[in-house]
Structure 1
Amino acid sequence: MRRRVVITGIGVLAPGGVGTKNFWSLLTEGRTATRTLTFFDPAPYRSKVAAEVDFDAAAAGLRPQEIRRMDRAAQFAVVSTGEAIADSGLEMHELDPHRVGVSIGSAVGATISLEDEYRVVSDDGSKWLVDHTYAPPQLYQHLVPSSFATEVAWAAGAEGPGTVVSTGCTSGIDSVGYACELIRTGVTDVMITGATDAPISPITVACFDAIKATTVHNDDPEHASRPYDSTRNGFVLGEGSAGFVLEELESARRRGAHIYAEIAGYASRCNAYHMTGLRADGLEMAEAIRVALDEAQLAPEAIDYVNAHGSGTKQNDRHETAAFKRSLGEHAHRVPVSSIKSMVGHSLGAIGSIEIAASALAMDNDVVPPTANLHNPDPELDLDYVPLEAREHRTDTVLTVGSGFGGFQSAMVLTTPERSAA
């Protein structure tokens, strides 16, 4: 019999909402955390807006040695998973550490630290042959994203399997899907999982400028992220992290844990088509949704809410709207759909986990977060995208999806254990 896996702890670091409580308040109030970029001078760049996290590592409990050692994204991961562990009520020292694993998602790793240190060793890019004597001892940890899982494992005392999943912008769904599978198959009993990215750096901004993927609504940063709106013209780059504690259902019940959701189904597909382009028919995302529903043993009509990728690019919003129609049939026109990227931006590999957190909290509160800034709906996109204001809505089962460069398409179905058992 397959073991059932549930979420019993959540931790979030997101723009405008450090900590899970603040994050959920931001979403339900429909507030946006997008602003003119402050980390460096945005003047030379095409897109000058970002969704930045107001994060104080020392105030979050990290020691000076940890702050020096860890990239910003690693710091995010340690803090968000720490909040998730505390939220779960688990006493980590009472667990068999070899039965506790770590799975962290990240699209771009230690981008900020790598760029900063390259500028130092190359004398701000003036030297082709860099001077390694200026490199700090922790530079290797910045180079290998696996260090993120190491840091989380050290902080949690986890000695089971440890990995980093890097599948572009679906990393945050895929890392949790992988963690779930380790519990289902009996490899671990508890998983510390989630995803993190801190990509707001000159090189990242320049890369997205080059392919015109990010918005140029620079004169109105608060309303720059506009998924499904006819005036949308790209996403707002963001940063952040979400962490989770996953455990086997019966174990969680025995200890009286608060269960946010059961991970009932998960699937991932690749379109094998284009590095950044998407087919308009949404076939691969629809297939991922179909397989995730099959694994959950649920019909499309069981979905109460769809937490969409909703990046705010022309092609993505068309692609996933088509995917929802293809996979959910007529139910696609009845189920509420929304994009929280309208409020917290697109944090690349981290956003899938942040959206899982939003989905689980929607279930916990029977509230669907809105799509902010949706004032002028695109007539091509004819689903219920929950514009502007949160909606009270019975939410027992949620579909959350992600789409990533490289052609990755992932889907996850969250449900209440009672409904999954029915």
Structure 2
Amino acid sequence: MTSTDERRALITGIGVVAPGGTGVKEFWDLLTAGRTATRGITCFDASSFRSRVAAECDFDGAAHGLTPQELRRMDRAAQLAVVSAREAVEDSGLPVAALDPYRIGVSIGSAVGATRSLDTEYSIVSDSGRNWLVDHRYGTPHLYDYFVPSSFAAEVAWATGAEGPAAVISTGCTSGLDAVGHARELIREGTADVVIAGATDAPISPITVACFDAIKATTARNDDAEHASRPFDRSRDGFVLGEGCAVFVVEEYQHARRRGAKVYAEIAGFATRSNAFHMTGLRPDGREMAEAIRVALDEATTDPTEVDYVNAHGSGTRQNDIHETAAFKHSLGPHAYRVPVSSIKSMIGHSLGAIGALEVAACALAIDRGVIPPTANLHEPDPLCDLDYVPLHAREQRTDVVLSVGSGFGGFQSAMVLASPTSAAA
């Protein structure tokens, strides 16, 4: 791993709001039990849509300390981010009040921003779409915040007392990985000592569901929502839309060491690439993802044979599953056939920009707890996907090095290497 004289980025706190439960414990319990949180859409009437299933969060912001003013002001995705950030800071034991606020940054990822609030507000000002010329007088006074995704970073900064660099990273479905990767770079270059980093999305709304219906990317398995998300399975027919958030305290090595912080993992390597090929299509050979993996492993000074677990993008579309299976073979060589690979989207759906952060949380917990989450609903593996995808049941295994990957519309391909605290202390 990297030498001790470099500024290194460690994860010292985790906060999660996910389908199936709010908080790290509930999230981890669901994953390791192999339970699914996918169900019929309840947050709006989806009866007219092709795909009517989703992975929703049973989230009540008031029950988690948000004030009526905060609930009125913030989009649902921002609410998820603030609650997750508060849990992450508490989990880390970070003495925020005693730190220089200018050395605390914020990096939040989101693919679709305040889509849910924008959808609702458009319906109001247009009288449910009846009026081409909308009446702005019916719009909320907080509409500007919904139009500007940077409001997510501002809300997290206000909630955590961070006055350093703050940004929203929006790179489609790799936003979560990329936001945490950005946090690592802020630490390494010396701009910040602590970064509150993660990603949030609450896209389960008529406009989002309609968009994915149009390209048939989501599942039509409406009669069996619990088992609708089937990455790497022969019978898969698209992904399940989800929502959620994960936020981390990312801390410089010496800073964390001085205060005796618990360390979940080191962010040892990160890289992102673009395929410059197609807005939604993927080349089957997976070369661009393989290149991102190669560079991330090089940054971590890690040989492919040292990877103990791969957290796959695993969306449950045929082209993705074949694409990243090929990428693992190109980048890991023969070791690809030996290393466990799994997709937590099988249990919590695909929350677009947020999912990469939720997957980083799963990876850090896998290192911390010595358990690899399974790929649920994997009963009939696709013959073209011939790796060890940890079907159905979690697997107890010491895990020191984890590779997590993401793939997003627009051709984005990202890879991150997480290493155990033992490696971080080397």
Q: Same fold (TM over 0.5)?
A: yes
SS in 1 for 2:223: coil
Does residue 11 (structure 1) correspond to residue 11 (structure 2)? The answer is no
Which of the residues 98, 104, 110 maps onto 1:100? Answer: 104
Q: Quote the offset at 1:152 in angstroms.
A: 0.3
SS in 2 for 1:40: coil
Does residue 122 (structure 1) correspond to residue 126 (structure 2)? The answer is yes
Does residue 197 (structure 1) correspond to residue 185 (structure 2)? The answer is no
Does residue 52 (structure 1) correspond to residue 56 (structure 2)? The answer is yes
SS in 2 for 1:194: strand
Which of the residues 231, 240, 244 maps onto 1:240? Answer: 244
Report matched runs for 1:379-418 at 5 Å: 379-418=383-422
Q: Quote the offset at 1:256 in angstroms.
A: 1.2
Q: Quote the offset at 1:418 in angstroms.
A: 3.0
Determine if contact 1:296/1:420 at 8 Å carries over to the other structure. no
Determine if contact 2:187/2:251 at 8 Å carries over to the other structure. yes
Alignment partner, residue 313 of structure 2: 309
Determine if contact 1:2/1:185 at 8 Å carries over to the other structure. no
Q: Quote the offset at 1:2 in angstroms.
A: 2.5
Q: Quote the offset at 1:280 in angstroms.
A: 0.1
Does residue 334 (structure 1) correspond to residue 370 (structure 2)? The answer is no
Alignment partner, residue 228 of structure 2: 224
Alignment partner, residue 255 of structure 2: 251
SS in 2 for 1:349: helix
Alignment partner, residue 360 of structure 1: 364
Give deviations 1:192-243, integer Å, cap 9, x for gaps: 0100000000000000000000001111100000000000010000000000
Code of the residue aligned with 2:356 in structure 1: it is: G
How far apart in 1 are the matches of 2:87 and 2:391?
A: 31
Determine if contact 2:265/2:424 at 8 Å carries over to the other structure. no
How far apart in 1 are the matches of 2:290 and 2:150?
A: 31
How far apart in 2 are the matches of 1:253 and 1:361?
A: 20
SS in 2 for 1:266: strand
Q: Quote the offset at 1:420 in angstroms.
A: 5.3
Determine if contact 1:17/1:24 at 8 Å carries over to the other structure. no
Alignment partner, residue 136 of structure 1: 140
Percent identity over the alignment is 73
Determine if contact 1:52/1:238 at 8 Å carries over to the other structure. yes
How far apart in 2 are the matches of 1:419 and 1:75?
A: 35
CA RMSD, 1 decimal? 0.8
SS in 2 for 1:103: strand
Gaps of 5+ in 2: none
Gaps of 5+ in 1: none
SS in 1 for 2:36: coil
Alignment partner, residue 25 of structure 2: 21
SS in 2 for 1:101: strand
How far apart in 1 are the matches of 2:47 and 2:129?
A: 20
Number of residue pairs the alignment of both structures matches:
422
SS in 2 for 1:169: coil
Q: Quote the offset at 1:394 in angstroms.
A: 1.0
Alignment partner, residue 156 of structure 2: 152
How far apart in 2 are the matches of 1:420 and 1:175?
A: 21
Give deviations 1:78-103, integer Å, cap 9, x for gaps: 00011000000012111100000000
